[in-house]
Amino acid sequence: MTATLNETLTLLLVEDDAGDAFLVEELLKQAEAPPRITWVRTLDETKARLGPEIQCVLVDLSLPDATGLEALEHVIHLAPHAAVLVLTGLRDAHVGVAAVQAGAQDYLVKQDVDARLLARAIRYAMERKRADLAQRRLVEAELTAKENARLENGLLPVPLLRNRGLRHSTRYLPGSGGRLAGDFLDTVQTPDGSIHVVVGDVCGHGPDEAALGVALRIAWRALVLAGQSGDLLLHTLDTLLRAERKAPEIFTTLCMTTIAPDLGSAQMRVVGHPPPVLVRDGHVQLVESAPSGPPLGIFPDAQWRVLDVPLGERWSMMLYTDGLIEAAVGGEMLGVDGLVDLVRLHGTIDIDRLIGDVGTLNDDLAAVVVGRGEI
């Protein structure tokens, strides 16, 4: 009966004995799909031939330039994604057990090998390696998820609010790729009764961008509590961004607003950011289609126009990052106009309903909804 291998594999045979190498090659020729075999005699030759195309390594632990577990350790280091099957002599069976403990997927005693056993051992070694790699990816994913959760906690602060007349809600959702981004939000009420809200987005994805978003959010809160506002606050954030970013092309967009203590008006700066949506006395509109000025991190001497926004008695306003408007609805990107249409359809700003309408988010979303009275 012929041996079976389920796929055409690319193997590296590390064996200094020509007779043993010939035997292995002849046995593997009996497989239903004979593998492609590269034969090398030494560890130095192994280093030159081990590449990403090698799926399994059959290695003798008695080589001219490396013996025992030393040879195995080098092979595992050079080919971390390849299965490793150790070949031992009859008197070295205990070495095979130690090799498995050191990271090999299996071992075979040369004198006991036949075609069927060799093919099965290779197949099992491949499956064990796949399982090992899957387990490693799972552990790495769990560690990444824990790290992301810690960073997300920094992106989701407890609002400092005393005014019970203001409706306030926030949402933060990661995009479909699970990649953490630098979206951030915060709300702070200062002693004079003014309510300050910010939503921002550091360009890019990854832990560095997320950490930078946390740093900017904390800095914004500290500056607001210290009494800074307007362009002075923005220039301070710009200085911090330039000092902390990993590359000069990283920039940050944000929208920040200061709502008057009587909740009847607001002053806003839209810093290269999507414009907020405002529902006022039943009318849905964008606060301003053009931004107040460029993002942070581009022009060191930038200035930002102040937007004066009358609010009135009944209103609701949403500040958000571009993860919302870049979501696909019906095969097309939602966009700012599409977002306004959805709010008009709902008659109010319901962030959970909006998220449900857009479905899968391609990018992170941070949003703050504030309002006064029933809409």
Arithmetic mean of pLDDT over the chain: 87
Max Cα distance, the chain (Å): 92
Class of domain 156-372: alpha beta
* Residue 43 token pair: 């560890």
Q: How many CB atoms lie within 10 A of CB 241?
A: 20
Contact (Cβ atoms closer than 8 angstroms) between residue 270 and residue 291:
yes
Q: Tell me the CATH number for domain 10-137.
A: 3.40.50.2300
Name the E strands within 227-314. Answer: 252-259, 265-271, 277-280, 283-286, 307-310
> What pLDDT does residue 276 have?
96
> What pLDDT does residue 53 have?
87
**Per-residue pLDDT tens over the stretch 331-375:** 788 999 999 999 999 989 999 999 888 877 888 899 999 999 876
**Predicted confidence band of residue 4 (pLDDT cuts 50, 70, 90):** very low
> What pLDDT does residue 202 have?
95
Query: What's the order of all strands across the beta sheet hosting 283-286?
Result: 167-173, 365-372, 315-320, 277-280, 283-286
> What pLDDT does residue 143 have?
67
Contact (Cβ atoms closer than 8 angstroms) between residue 195 and residue 189:
yes
- Phi, psi dihedral angles at 335 (to 5 degrees): 75, 170
Domain boundaries of the chain, sorted by first residue: 10-137, 156-372
Max mean pLDDT range (55-59, 176-180, 238-242) = 238-242
Taking phi over 0 as left and psi of -120 to 50 as alpha, with beta for the rest, 103 belongs to: left
**Per-residue pLDDT tens over the stretch 258-309:** 999 999 999 999 999 999 999 998 899 999 877 889 999 999 899 999 999 9
